[in-house]
Amino acid sequence: MSTVLLLSQSKLKAFTTINQNTDEALLTSGVFMAQELGLQVLLGTKGYDYYTNLVKSVQLSGATMSQADQIMLNEYIAPYLTHRAYFEVMPEIWSRKMNKGIQVGASEQGNAVDIKGMSYLRDIELSRYNFYAQRMMDRIQAFPSDYPWYYSYTNQDGMPNSKQNYFGGIFFTPGLRKMPGALNGNIPAYWGHEYDCCGDW
């Protein structure tokens, strides 16, 4: 289990509509869940450990990282985690687990949204982090030599990356690149995680 956060609470607040007064313990939990449940599924345990160990090494010993890793962390992983963490933390902001039970918050400025409203807002964040998940996969596919860990998975490396179905039941993809019947364009049309279909459908 990683204890290294790849996104700071201050950056999460800066790039979302989360109030500056929000309890940072909630945000820490949200970022951690976004990494464990989201990023690890995309990159696999091998890639996930690669980046958490790299960031830890940079923080502790001042080690340097390659330009490819800087690009991945700053331009792909950080935006993905921003919206995935917001998605994860929203129910915790909406309701608090207290000694006397679960309470939905309210303030002098207004009342809390109902569960349908909260679900609607979460759907917005879900679509946003799926967008960044797709961009991340595009980057890895376009520059395979920069990310060899993604293409060298073995059954001893923990959770496989998103090219493989880790669970046996229903499997949700990061998103559909282009709807069936979409017109022209050279962008690959992706469906699923194998990315073996390119061009128009």
Residues facing residue 106 across a β-bridge: 111
pLDDT of residue 95: 67
Helix (H) or strand (E) holding 106: strand 106-107
Question: Residue holding tokens 């964040």?
Answer: 125
Give the gyration radius of the chain's Cα atoms: 19
Residue 149 CA to residue 104 CA, distance in Å, equals: 43
Q: In the numeric block, which tokens belong to residue 117?
A: 């409203």
Helix (H) or strand (E) holding 109: none
Reported as a single tens digit per residue, the pLDDT across 154-185 is 888 888 887 654 444 444 455 555 444 444 45
Q: In the numeric block, which tokens belong to residue 61?
A: 């010993």
Query: Domain spans of the chain?
Result: 9-151
pLDDT over 80 at 58, yes or no: yes
Q: In the numeric block, which tokens belong to residue 87?
A: 């998605």
Tell me the pTM: 0.74
Burial 82-105 (b: 16+ CB within 10 A, else e): bbbbbbbbbebbbeeeeeeeeeee
Reported as a single tens digit per residue, the pLDDT across 71-130 is 999 999 999 999 999 999 988 887 666 666 556 665 555 567 788 888 898 999 999 999
* Alpha helix ranges (H) inside 62-114: 67-71, 78-94
Length of the chain: 201
pLDDT of residue 34: 95
Q: Which residue has the higher pLDDT, 21 or 43?
A: 43
Q: How far apart are the first and last CA of the chain?
A: 41
Q: Quick one: CA torsion of 192, 197, 199, 201, rounded to 10 degrees?
A: -70
Residues of the chain above pLDDT 90, percent:
44
